[in-house]
A and B are shown apart, each in its own frame.
Chain A
Amino acid sequence: MVNEVASVISNYEIASNYWQAILKAPEISRMAKPGQFINILPIKNWPKMMRRPMSIASNEHENISIIYKVVGEGTQYISDWKEGSKVDIIGPLGNTWPEFNDEYPILIGGGVGIAPILYLQDKFSSEGIKHHLIMGAKTGSEHFLEHSPDDGLLLTTDDGTIGIKGTVIRALEAIFHTPSDIRNYRICACGPSPMLNAIKQFASDYSIECFVALETMMACGFGICQGCSIEREQNSDAGSSYRKKYSLACIDGPVFQTNEIKNC
């Protein structure tokens, strides 16, 4: 983990209210692994107390990127970053996705939850590992990828304007209802809580291993404030213990196996 002054290489809208910023951050780039995130000071004199955490969406040649939605003051400032702007970031933070041996990856991103999924997909693509990628959005204008089922890339929209109509669960069902020899699927997902909880349920019904990257409020991002607690599943004997009933999303996560945690 380092505190690095990154310079903005580019920052533009890649789909309706979906932005991507590419940052030159050699130190963080050297250390980062898929699943990790950075904690951003949106502007120099940021008036609020907390930085804004964002997943690393790609990492190559000293450059990392983030994909974000403008939802409030911080992300508004981030969308104003210009080429050459200097930004104060801390990272890389958090854990990473599990090691894959012969498991078949199904990667799922809901909305901007696609960010940490794309970084993982890059890794699989560069290693020539076959996988499926599902991305869900409300409507077609939010998609920046191409629906191409033959290549294992499935897009869903709530209104059916692009790809499969419905949630990412429809796409999962489509994969599971297609005859295949693959037995050892493993899901890696990130997105809104209701989506992740539905995937958790699906994975449990089909007895598939499932990992999710979670988002919580974070004040520090590296295990100091204890603010980012996630309730764990196995907590029955947590009489007097520490980090057995609650894990910290910033250092124990953001990636958790779904059977470890109560809710996503």
Chain B
Amino acid sequence: MLTKIELLNHTFKSPILVASGTFGYGDEVAGLIDVNQLGGIITKSVTLEPREGNAPPRIAETSAGMLNSIGLANLGVEKYCHTKLPQLNKLETKVIINIAGFGIDDYVKTLQILENHDGNHAGYEINISCPNVKSGGMQFGVDAVMTESLTSEMRKHTNKLLILKLSPNVTKIEDIAMAAEAGGADMISAINTVVGMGINIHNRKPVLNTVFGGLSGPAIKPIALANVHKIYKAVSVPIIGIGGISTAEDVIEFIMAGADLVQVGTSNFKDPSIGLKITKGLEPLCKTLEVTNIHDLKGTLEYY
């Protein structure tokens, strides 16, 4: 198979996973696509307590993208373990559980609860684009020290894959990536959404209730690619590229920039089977590019 990826003792059927918050828990799409053909699924961020999320409006369209301020609405880890984990266990693809929190304790407790339940999941993706309530609300992901302590604390509690998901809304993403690596992360995924805003000129209100939100979709692909490449230059752990992917060519760009795997997010809304369509498109592209496995393209970018 040209697109099968062996990585850290795991076999991914394809380099294409679906991004947190854009594919639910895999059960919602059951009637639409065969989830088992994907490389993996990252579930919606789960937090220690259930969360209602932000007041509406929470989403808006932009040129080649969308803004969201969902506010991590989710059912909470206890209910997740009882209602979602059993069905996720039945999937024949890699399941990665995305965790969010508002203090190191939060993240660790959520992780421990998940570890205490029987799960076949391959690992965890840690969403660090969340405010640390104990540090005056500064996001974990903008501070290298906080990122490293969070990572090393979580590392103590799991042997499964530990993936740190970085925010692009920082001065030097390399510093955060290196901090995650130093803390013991197995992989780095990047990027989460880019801070953005929109205004409805008729009622003079921001398009999102929270004023600022997260931009995603093809609009952010160049930003994501640049960040992935910067991370690739700075760390040696594997990288999952995320941001605006909607074609097989996009995937190759991310892999050439240094990614091992990728995630497709916003494009799932337009076409829930986009992940499978891209996977199909990868085989002929690998042949055109004359590689026997797609992984051979990792970091093969050639500078002028």
Query: What is the interface of chain A, defined by CB distance below 8 A to chain B?
Result: 1-3, 41, 46-51, 88, 90, 216-217, 219-220, 222-231, 238, 240-246
Contacts and interface: CB of A to CB of B under 8 A. Distances in A.
Given A1-B32, A231-B56, A244-B52, A49 B73 contact: no
B302 interface: no
Contact of A241 (B32, B52, B61, B66): B52
Given A219-B266, A223-B28, A225-B59, 6 more contacts: A49-B65, A90-B272, A220-B272, A241-B52, A242-B79, A246-B55
Nearest to A238: B52
Contacts, number: 110
Contacts of B52: 238, 241-246
Main secondary structure on chain A at its contact with chain B?
loop
B271 interface: yes
B75 A227 contact: no
Interface in B10-33: 21-24, 28-29, 31-33
Contact of B32 (A3, A49, A225, A242): A3
A6 to B, nearest CB: 15
B73 A229 contact: yes
Contacts of B299: none
B262 interface: no
25 contacts: A41-B270, A46-B270, A49-B266, A49-B270, A90-B272, A222-B29, A223-B24, A223-B28, A224-B23, A224-B24, A224-B268, A224-B269, A225-B70, A226-B73, A227-B70, A228-B58, A229-B54, A229-B56, A241-B50, A242-B50, A242-B75, A242-B79, A244-B52, A245-B52, A246-B53
Contact of A242 (B70, B76, B273): B76
Contacts of A47: 64
B58 A229 contact: yes
B206 interface: no
B270 A225 contact: no
A246 B266 CA distance: 22
Contacts of A241: 50, 52
B34 interface: no
Contact of A51 (B33, B55, B269): B269
A94 B39 CA distance: 29
Interface residues of B, number: 42
Contact of B50 (A48, A88, A216, A240): A240
A246 B53 CA distance: 8
A3 B270 contact: no
Given A50-B270, A242-B74, A227 B51 contact: no
A78 to B, nearest CB: 15
Interface string B30-64: 01110000000000100001111111111111001
A88 to B, nearest CB: 8
A245 B267 CA distance: 28
A217 B57 contact: yes
Interface in B256-287: 266-273
B168 interface: no
Nearest to A47: B64
Contacts of B61: 48-50, 217
B217 interface: yes
A242 B272 contact: no
B3 interface: no
